[in-house]
Amino acid sequence: MTNPEPVKHGDVTQRVGVEVIRARGVDVENLIKMLVANAAAEFASTYYYYTILRMNLAGYEDYKEICEDARLEDRAHWELIVPRIYELGGSLPNDLKEFHDQAGCIAAKLPDPPTVVNILTLLLESERCAIRSWSAVCDVTFGKDPRTYDLASRILNEEIEHEAWFIELLAHERDGKSVPSGHFRRGEPGEAPYSKNRGFYNP
Ligand SMILES: [Fe+2]
Ligand SMILES: [Fe+2]
């Protein structure tokens, strides 16, 4: 069998880790764009939008705790996926505004009025956008790029849980209905059982 990848001995301008997935049919440049868009959405939500939304859930301390888990797990998602962008030969935009504007999900701004129902609705729809975006990454990498697929599917596991959490809270708060999420408490806030790097590295 001939060697499918053209990387020369000692060459640091090309990567076997990229060429093997290209040879299997991955559009690497498009994949990098998708990952940058998803990273931007995770970054904006964890460090900014979810923070603001959570601050406005005062008096709903149980909802705040669920929101904090979702927020901190988005931070883990950001840190899990950024290294993959660089491994693929991509990079983050060197301009925060430009980066923000590439996000694959619309900004989760504080709703007007900032009622608990409006905030929970926004959180729910934001998780749904994340499920769609990470599923799309799974689709283009399945059977071709096992590393990106593994990272994206670990994130997707948690986004699906987040959707269930906010369906439960919104159904209760808005409709007076019980729609259980099947949620068991995480070990600690921000546990991110599927997506987090080691605690030493990512406290
Ligand atoms: Fe996320
Ligand atoms: Fe999420």
Give residue 113 CA to ligand 2 midpoint distance, Å: 23
Give residue 42 CA to ligand 1 midpoint distance, Å: 5
Give residue 71 CA to ligand 2 midpoint distance, Å: 7
Give residue 161 CA to ligand 2 midpoint distance, Å: 8
**Which tens digit of pLDDT belongs to each residue from 18-51?**
999 999 999 999 999 999 999 999 999 888 898 9
Weakest-pLDDT range from 25-34, 142-151, 187-196: 187-196
The number of the ligand nearest the C-alpha atom of 42 reads 1
Question: Long-range contacts made by residues 93-98, C-beta under 8 angstroms, separation at least 24?
Answer: 93/36
Give residue 96 CA to ligand 1 midpoint distance, Å: 19
CA atoms within 13 A on the CB side of 38: 34
Whether the CB-CB separation of 165 and 70 falls below 8 Å is answered with: yes
The number of the ligand nearest the C-alpha atom of 126 reads 2
The per-residue pLDDT for 201 is: 61
**Which tens digit of pLDDT belongs to each residue from 109-138?**
999 999 999 999 999 999 999 999 999 999
Query: pTM for this structure?
Result: 0.92
**Which tens digit of pLDDT belongs to each residue from 74-96?**
999 999 999 999 999 999 999 99
Give residue 50 CA to ligand 2 midpoint distance, Å: 10
Three-state secondary structure readout of 44-73 = HHHHHHHHHHHHCCCCCHHHHHHHHHHHHH
Give residue 59 CA to ligand 2 midpoint distance, Å: 22
The number of the ligand nearest the C-alpha atom of 125 reads 2
